[in-house]
Chains A and B, each alone.
Chain A
Amino acid sequence: MAIFQLKINKKVHKVDVDEDTPLLWVLRDTLDLVGTKYGCGIGQCGACTIHINGVATRSCLLPVSAIHKSEITTIEGLSEKNNHPVQEAWKEIDVPQCGYCQAGQVMTASSFLKENSNPTTEEIREAMHGNICRCASYNRIEKAVALAAKKS
């Protein structure tokens, strides 16, 4: 066990966990930030996507000891009033079915749109390719990312 200071959603949290613990489980089990989801544990499904210094990252493979002073953003801290353009677009397009993967989808999309504010459909499909939606709400994800780009 070791003490780590993590900057999450603009607040500093002190946690006492094993060094090899993936950030995902620190967020979920230690800090009760359960919006970040467990899907596969091997970086294949994208359900655990968070931002590290603004860049979409899989938290299931990231040991807590590797984070250092990086700034972590989770779905809970993406916007103050849950009104990020991507969140707004998700509501407007009525994307979710079961909803389990959607926080990860939103985190991937919001990071992508920061890099590319005017993406083509092909670029959206490429950017979102790492996030699985088992309900296959893919048509709406595509539309919602395009709408969010317009809103941003």
Chain B
Amino acid sequence: MKLDKMKSQKNTLAFSRRNFLKTSALAGGGMLIGFNLIGACKPEAVMPIDIASLNFNDFNAFIKIADNGIVTIFSPNPEIGQGVKTSMPMIIAEELDVAWKHVHVVQGGLDTKNYKRQVAGGSQSIRSGWDALRTTGATAKKMLINAAAKKWNVDPATCSVSEGIITNQKGDTLGFGDVVKVAATLEVPENVTLKEPEDYKIIGQGKGNVDTHNIISGKPLFGLDYKLEGMLYASVLRPPAFGQKLESFDGTKAKTVNGVVEVLKFGDKIAVLANNTWAAMKGKKAVSAKWESDKKLESTEDHDKILIALLDGDKFKTKREDGAIDEAFATADKIIERTYESPFLPHNCMEPMNFYADVTPEKIHLVGPIQTPEWTMGRVATLLKREKEEIHLEMTRMGGGFGRRLYGDFALEAAEISSLSKKPVKVVFSREDDMTAGTYRPAIKYRIKASIKGGEITGYYLKEAAINSNMYGAIPNFFPAGTIENFKVDAANYKSDITTGAWRAPYTNFLAFAEQSFFDELASELNIDAVQLRLDLLQKVKGTKDKKIKYSGQRMEDTIKLVAKKSNWGKAQPGVYQGFSAYYSHNTHVAEVAEVVMKDGVPVVTKVTVAVDCGIVVNPSGARNQVEGGVIDGIGHAMYGDFSFENGVPQATNFDTYRLIRIQETPSVDVHFVENKLSPTGLGEPGLPPAGGAVANAIKKATGKRLMKQPFIKDLIS
């Protein structure tokens, strides 16, 4: 792509909504529009930028309009299955007013110099991209209209556009392709008018995943499919227990395996390089190694004792405090206290971790599935003591992320091995490597205590004891914060050798279960309907002046009312037991009703009705898919997810010893969206947190058993 014909911008402006965008005529014809998706749309980011000094390297996303009117949209954000490669271009296409069938979507990110701040995480791609994507599409459209109006010598305001065709008052028409060359030479308009939601033609229409055809025909898309001539495959032997170090190893036998090229040590790990994956894996099994440790290796039993001791102790940091919690408990009619427990969880992306690296004295080439390309590039530069400018990183489609691919450990391994061996190398994790060398969801225990006086909840005190780190950001201010006068959230942690990190809906994936189970018990105690209890509490947060509270009492109420209606809450058929749960996370409000029936004495989840308020639904098909998957994922891990350690060694290693939910165990998920015209929010995570609580509350009704520990299966079969 030649960018040398860029039109220079003459004026210098303070930061405004328009200077994130720049256009250029392409040498080969057509127009290229660069926009800074992430920098432009931080609502409070105000900084002076000299637009004349901007070049295309400052942009992180591009649209190309060809002479034939075909629009190529380079989608900048990593695609991990959350659907942004389809939904982000849909937003541009809407404001550009082009037919969706004339849009071609390409994964951006072939050059870190041109793309910045690309992250998949926190369900934020759509929320933060909404204004920038629309403005970009609308600005390009206005330039195309201006070009047509110039050609016709008419007022641009008298022209209209539909599906890439511009029409004037006389009925003359010009296609985008007819005017794109002229448009590229025009000044970028200062102000553009965005469409009203009722005029949307693409947003709100279900569009299929843009990659489906390639996925179901077996095209190479994923990191594991990436291959270059001469590349070696590396299988890495890591310490079997967390807390161990390498004492010595013998790679002689591994070198005799057909196809093995080299065995090398790096840090406490041993890499076996071979000319095919199977030989690398076989070679690794043939390495004999001795491991050492100078301290006690940790077991799940130890973690359980440590976390309970933390809950019983006083080493907390207070995350939020309202009113006088001690007084509420001192004067209570009744106090209820419960403890909820969860294990570590591996991510288990279907595509195991892998990364390609070719480190040469001239440059570093990295390719693979990564949620944090820029951060990883920086870490590789630091590790190898090289400049970032020497690194070229390409992103592939990812066979799942769930948070695991935020941590570029596998990319660093590839870079180090390539640097040592001076060969292009792809590190490939076996499933066992993937499950036992994880960055797990930390084991967490919550203790929640509530005081009741005169039929009201007067105090609420939540304590978190977690491995390695605690809840962060706005989480302590989520529901029920703001609804109970005396309120406190405390957190403490224990630093462990086990590596932990973000796992789909960090913290809230278990916190929501604990709290929503607890509220079910409070409703029973107060002898009030579980849904009504939430609605009553939410009245107290409406119109709050507390800026830390980001959830909306009104939106949560509307969401809860929708799910109650759609699920026929309280009117289930005999033999069907309903459980309710609602939770706000990642800026999205969600409420769920699970239905359980007893089959052969065992509770079976048959249906989950979901109501979601994520504002405008950009792509209903993709949005439903995210919610359906999030709910089933939440149920699967609450029900079966179990991961323990014995002297630092993970006890599950593959899908024969680690149970993931399968199709026969899945309920049907019925998704409904609250209809409004508010800016859209993300959906990759928020469907998950409420699911476990809804199921646990239904199981309580069906069996009388109150589940307080995950995985549920242990208590259900005991």
Residue A111 interfacial (CB < 8 Å): no
Q: With A47-B350, A97-B83 as given contacts, are A135 and B217 in contact (CB-CB < 8 Å)? A: no
Q: When the two chains form their complex, are residues B278 and A94 in contact, meaning their CB atoms are under 8 A apart? A: no
**CB-contact partner of B399 in A25, A87, A99, A141, under 8 A:** A99
Q: Which A residues are in CB contact (< 8 Å) with B258?
A: 1, 18
Residue B156 interfacial (CB < 8 Å): no
Q: How far is the CB of B482 from chain A (nearest CB, A)?
A: 33
Q: With A102-B215, A136-B628 as given contacts, are A128 and B663 in contact (CB-CB < 8 Å)? A: yes
Q: With A30-B276, A101-B350 as given contacts, are A75 and B663 in contact (CB-CB < 8 Å)? A: no
Q: How far is the CB of B653 from chain A (nearest CB, A)?
A: 10
Residue A57 interfacial (CB < 8 Å): no
A44 nearest in chain B by CB position? B655
Q: Give the CA-CA distance A13 to B430 in the complex, in Å.
A: 27
A141 nearest in chain B by CB position? B663
A102 nearest in chain B by CB position? B215
Segment of B17-25, B493-501, B664-672 in the binding face: B664-672
Q: When the two chains form their complex, are residues B206 and A100 in contact, meaning their CB atoms are under 8 A apart? A: no
A84 nearest in chain B by CB position? B216
> What is the size, in residues, of chain B's interface with A at 8 Å between Cβ atoms?
64
Residue B225 interfacial (CB < 8 Å): yes
Q: Which B residues are in CB contact (< 8 Å) with A75?
A: 216-218
Residue A115 interfacial (CB < 8 Å): no
- Counting chain A residues whose Cβ lies within 8 A of the other chain, the interface size class is 35 or more
Q: Which B residues are in CB contact (< 8 Å) with A132?
A: 350, 655, 660, 662
Q: With A33-B218, A40-B654, A94-B622 as given contacts, are A135 and B81 in contact (CB-CB < 8 Å)? A: yes
Give chain B's interface secondary structure class: loop
Q: With A99-B399, A135-B400 as given contacts, are A36 and B218 in contact (CB-CB < 8 Å)? A: yes
Q: Which B residues are in CB contact (< 8 Å) with A91?
A: 208, 212-213, 216
Q: When the two chains form their complex, are residues A140 and B218 in contact, meaning their CB atoms are under 8 A apart? A: no
Residue A66 interfacial (CB < 8 Å): no
A76 nearest in chain B by CB position? B218
Q: Which A residues are in CB contact (< 8 Å) with B666?
A: 136, 138-139
A126 nearest in chain B by CB position? B664
Q: How far is the CB of A70 from chain B (nearest CB, A)?
A: 20
Q: Give the CA-CA distance A49 to B278 in the complex, in Å.
A: 18
Q: How far is the CB of A150 from chain B (nearest CB, A)?
A: 18
Number of A-B contacts (CB under 8 A): 185
Residue B227 interfacial (CB < 8 Å): yes
Q: Give the CA-CA distance A39 to B429 in the complex, in Å.
A: 10
Q: How far is the CB of A103 from chain B (nearest CB, A)?
A: 5
Q: When the two chains form their complex, are residues A139 and B628 in contact, meaning their CB atoms are under 8 A apart? A: yes
Q: Which A residues are in CB contact (< 8 Å) with B220?
A: 34
Q: When the two chains form their complex, are residues A99 and B397 in contact, meaning their CB atoms are under 8 A apart? A: yes
Which residues in window 604-644 of B have CB below 8 A to A? 621-622, 625-626, 628-633, 636
Q: When the two chains form their complex, are residues B211 and A96 in contact, meaning their CB atoms are under 8 A apart? A: yes
Q: Which A residues are in CB contact (< 8 Å) with B654?
A: 40-42, 44
Residue A52 interfacial (CB < 8 Å): no
Q: Which A residues are in CB contact (< 8 Å) with B630?
A: 136
Q: Which A residues are in CB contact (< 8 Å) with B278?
A: 18, 21-22, 25, 29
Q: Give the CA-CA distance A36 to B350 in the complex, in Å.
A: 13
Q: When the two chains form their complex, are residues B218 and A98 in contact, meaning their CB atoms are under 8 A apart? A: no
Q: When the two chains form their complex, are residues B81 and A35 in contact, meaning their CB atoms are under 8 A apart? A: no
Which residues in window 54-100 of A have CB below 8 A to B? 74-76, 82, 87, 90-91, 94-100
Q: When the two chains form their complex, are residues A99 and B211 in contact, meaning their CB atoms are under 8 A apart? A: yes
Q: When the two chains form their complex, are residues B664 and A38 in contact, meaning their CB atoms are under 8 A apart? A: no
Q: When the two chains form their complex, are residues A96 and B82 in contact, meaning their CB atoms are under 8 A apart? A: no
Q: With A28-B277, A134-B400 as given contacts, are A39 and B350 in contact (CB-CB < 8 Å)? A: yes
Q: When the two chains form their complex, are residues A99 and B215 in contact, meaning their CB atoms are under 8 A apart? A: yes
Q: Give the CA-CA distance A98 to B170 in the complex, in Å.
A: 48
Residue A51 interfacial (CB < 8 Å): no
Q: Give the CA-CA distance A134 to B276 in the complex, in Å.
A: 27
The listed residue with most A CB atoms (<10 A of its CB), out of B80, B206, B212, B278, is B278
Q: Chain B 388-429, CB within 8 Å of chain A: the 1/0 string?
A: 000000000111111000000000000000000000000000
**CB-contact partner of B629 in A1, A33, A99, A135, under 8 A:** A135
Which residues in window 323-376 of B have CB below 8 A to A? 348-352
Q: When the two chains form their complex, are residues A34 and B218 in contact, meaning their CB atoms are under 8 A apart? A: yes
Q: Give the CA-CA distance A134 to B398 in the complex, in Å.
A: 12
Q: Give the CA-CA distance A40 to B431 in the complex, in Å.
A: 5
Q: When the two chains form their complex, are residues A95 and B212 in contact, meaning their CB atoms are under 8 A apart? A: yes
Q: Can you list 12 A-B pairs with a CB-CB distance of less than 8 A?
A: A25-B278, A29-B233, A33-B218, A42-B655, A44-B655, A45-B655, A91-B208, A91-B213, A98-B80, A129-B662, A135-B350, A138-B661
Q: Given contacts A29-B233, A87-B216, A136-B629, could you give 14 more A-B pairs where the C-beta distance is less than 8 Å?
A: A25-B277, A32-B227, A37-B351, A42-B656, A44-B656, A87-B217, A90-B216, A94-B208, A95-B212, A97-B209, A98-B349, A98-B401, A99-B81, A136-B628
The 5 nearest A-B residue pairs measured at CB: A35-B218, A98-B81, A100-B399, A99-B215, A75-B218
